Amino acid sequence: EDKVVQSPLSLVVHEGDTVTLNCSYEVTNFRSLLWYKQEKKAPTFLFMLTSSGIEKKSGRLSSILDKKELFSILNITATQTGDSAIYLCAVKANAGGTSYGKLTFGQGTILTVHP
Amino acid sequence: DTGVSQNPRHKITKRGQNVTFRCDPISEHNRLYWYRQTLGQGPEFLTYFQNEAQLEKSRLLSDRFSAERPKGSFSTLEIQRTEQGDSAMYLCASSLARQFGEERGSEAFFGQGTRLTVV
């Protein structure tokens, strides 16, 4: 069965700090790894990673994938109170030669940024 | 189209009652998913549609759960004879099917969810 594990489960920092969130996975027929941010309700899409070593960046957020060691990290620099949220890592895998998009999620990392 | 829409946003029901939730996906998306999320956990996959065909159901989905997607547009998720253990956030997501080997543009977008409380 596909498995995704995130660490830490929760993290409390002050504004301006840099944080690193971890995601490790065990899946058969890996296709892609996705990061989502969940503030109150809907998870909102951040990044999709498919290849090792290529860093994805969006402003203060960046993410990288290591397909050999089966993990990804999400970095947030110069954190702001608005970054407080649950960060979810999810993996998409093939099923029988097709990829229909089903995601297996980790339990999430709760990030709290204090002023 | 502003995204995936779910209603109701909240539902409180008595144990044993039936409930039905609705999801309207992003209009051009042909894939639709239902997930369930409980406190402190990531979303768990329940079921998946490609157009109107329901192609996979999780073992989590007991016989009391049924989902439909008539005409490949909106979807409904019905829970019969609700139990307290059904209390959760029910999330719907949609995505666009891509050619095999193409991942870009295939990410799933989520609705705001329906929070179900069974008392």
- How is B55-68 classified by DSSP, letter by letter? EEE-TT--TTEEEE
In chain B, residues with a C-beta closer than 8 Å to the C-beta of A4 are 42
Question: How high is the mean pLDDT of chain B?
Answer: 91
Amino acid symbol at B83? E
Phi, psi of B16 (to 5 degrees): 100, -15
Instruction: Return the SS3 of A81.
Output: helix
In chain A, residues with a C-beta closer than 8 Å to the C-beta of B107 are 34, 45, 48
pLDDT of residue B99: 63
pLDDT of residue B94: 93
**B50, B107, B112 ranked by CB distance to A100: nearest:** B50
pLDDT(A27) > 90: no
pLDDT of residue A100: 66
A100, HSE (Cβ side, Cα atoms, 13 Å): 19
Separation CA A106–CA A34 (nearest Å): 11
